[in-house]
Amino acid sequence: MKRKIMALLTALTMTLSLTACAAAAGSDAAGSAAEAGTAQEAGDVSASTGTTFKVGICNYVDDASLNQIVDNIESRLEEIGTQRGVNFKIEYDNCNADSNVLSQIIANFIADEVDLMVGVATPVAMSMQGATEDNRIPVVFAAVSDPVGTGVVESMEAPGANITGTSDQLDTEAIMNLILAQNSNISKVGLLYDVGQDASTAAIAQAKEFLESRGIEYVEHTGTSVDEISLAADAFISDGVEAIFTPSDNTVMTAELTIYEKLADAGILHYAGADSFALNGAFLGYGVDYANLGAETAEMVAEILLEGKDPASTSVRTFDNGTATINTDICGKLGLSFNELSETFAPYCTKVESITTAESFE
């Protein structure tokens, strides 16, 4: 009998112990679930360590400005991923200004079920916008110069649909003021751009209005390829222009390395809408910091994917257009002093920087 009683007591004790352990385990699991739920409600996706997001990035063309943007998007997303405990799987491609290739790249992104697309430059952004109207894949664009004018967004403050991004909107009047500051007696200015680049439309119209209001003659030459831009440069030399203005035009940017020497030899100062033009041999590039623009584009990607922000109500981000980048190699060739130019341009810029000719940023 005693043995039976002892056996019953032992069994009872083990049962109570197991029940208590199970209750404790259930309590811990409930607590963890509650914490996870709270984190998700707060929009902190980084609580789910190891989550992977597919991001498809398409670049419009291979040039110094756009490549700099892509490099900074990728490096900043890598940093954010490390900080937040998530992974960004990047699918990158370059359509090289070919609309058919661009359509195929976007179709591939859709087939691969990317979580978000990044379109670098206006043509890519416009194509992505059209291709995602039904599937509603979020799109973040980079370096779209005139988002409203090209119809990419409804307004800068409330883009609408499933798209938002960063703009390198150019202050054309500021560049015109730099041209006049360097040569107050200038009589003829060249306007060099690609008529097919939507980014150039508004800036060229503004430049014409500015020059007409001051009685300064202007000559236009355009091109849609490197060869055509090179021929346009020859035409400007024959026309006897004293300076040339180009907005943030990707076609001219791609051709800059082929035209800068002939322009410098002719004594023509090329003013353009990005520091990358100066990197590739133009006299002066004026505009946004593309490294910063790329990093901010990545921030917007993270806000949408990690914090659940709605692209439709996320304002397009613009940047200070106050940096003038002067190519000191060209200054030397033209007999100009960088220090003197810095003083001359200072009233019209927030910053004046120097650069030497190279193919890409280091």
- CATH number for the domain that contains residue 235: 3.40.50.2300
Domain membership flag for residue 18: no
Buried b (16+ CB within 10 A) or exposed e, 251-277: bbbbbbbebbeebbeeebbbbbbbbbb
96, 223: one domain: no
- Copy the structure tokens of residue 93: 């491609």
Predicted local distance difference test score (pLDDT) of residue 198: 81
Global pTM exceeds 0.85: no
Residues 330 and 182 in one domain: yes
Query: Using one digit for the tens of pLDDT, what is the confidence trace for 135-187?
Result: 999 999 999 999 999 999 999 999 999 999 999 999 999 999 999 999 999 99
| Co-location of 114 and 190 in the same domain | no
Q: What is the pLDDT of residue 158?
A: 96
User: Do residues 175 and 327 make contact, with C-beta atoms less than 8 angstroms apart?
Assistant: no
Q: Are residues 129 and 147 in the same domain?
A: yes
The single-letter code of the amino acid at 2 is K
**290 in Cβ contact with 168 (< 8 Å):** yes
8 Å CB contact between 305 and 53 = yes
Tell whether 70 and 188 lie within a shared domain. Answer: no
3-state SS class at 87:
strand
User: Which structural domain, as residue segments, surrounds residue 178?
Assistant: 172-287+322-355
DSSP strand E in the chain: where? 52-59, 87-94, 116-120, 139-142, 163-165, 188-193, 217-222, 243-246, 269-272, 284-287, 323-327, 351-355
Say whether both 309 and 351 belong to one domain: no
Average pLDDT per consecutive 10 residues, the chain (362 residues; last block may be shorter): 39 40 37 35 52 97 94 98 97 97 98 98 97 96 94 96 95 96 98 91 96 98 97 98 96 96 98 95 94 96 97 94 93 97 94 95 82
In a domain, 1, yes or no: no
Domain membership flag for residue 235: yes
pLDDT of residue 289: 87
Examine residue 71 and state whether it is found in any structural domain, yes or no: yes
Q: Using CA atoms, how far apart are residues 204 and 315, in angstroms rounded to an integer?
A: 26
* Confidence at residue 197, expressed as pLDDT on a 0 to 100 scale: 87
pLDDT value of position 329? 98
Whether residue 237 lies inside any domain: the answer is yes
The answer to whether 324 touches 275, Cβ cutoff 8 Å, is: no
| 164 and 129 within one domain | yes
Describe the crossing of helices 64-84 and 290-307 by its angle, rounded to 10 degrees: 40
Q: How many whole angstroms separate alpha carbon 20 and alpha carbon 13?
A: 11
* 93 and 209 housed in the same domain: no
Our count of domains for the chain comes to 2
Asked whether residue 197 falls in the same domain as residue 335, the answer is: yes
pLDDT digits 0-9 by tens, 82-139? 999 999 999 999 999 999 999 999 999 999 999 999 999 999 999 999 999 999 999 9
Which pLDDT belongs to residue 180? 98
The SS3 call for residue 132 is: coil
Helix 198-213 to helix 172-182 angle (10° resolution) is: 50
- Predicted local distance difference test score (pLDDT) of residue 71: 98
> What is the residue type of 326?
I
pLDDT at 2: 37
- For residues 195 and 300, membership in a common domain is answered with no
In this structure, are 295 and 232 located in the same domain? no
In a domain, 20, yes or no: no
Contacts of residue 288, Cβ cutoff 8 Å, sequence gap at least 6: 168, 274, 319, 320, 321, 323
Considering the domain architecture, whether residues 127 and 184 belong to the same structural domain is answered as no
| Of 257, 155, 197, residue with least CA distance to 60 | 197
Let me know if residue 203 belongs to a domain.
Answer: yes
Q: Is residue 129 part of a domain?
A: yes
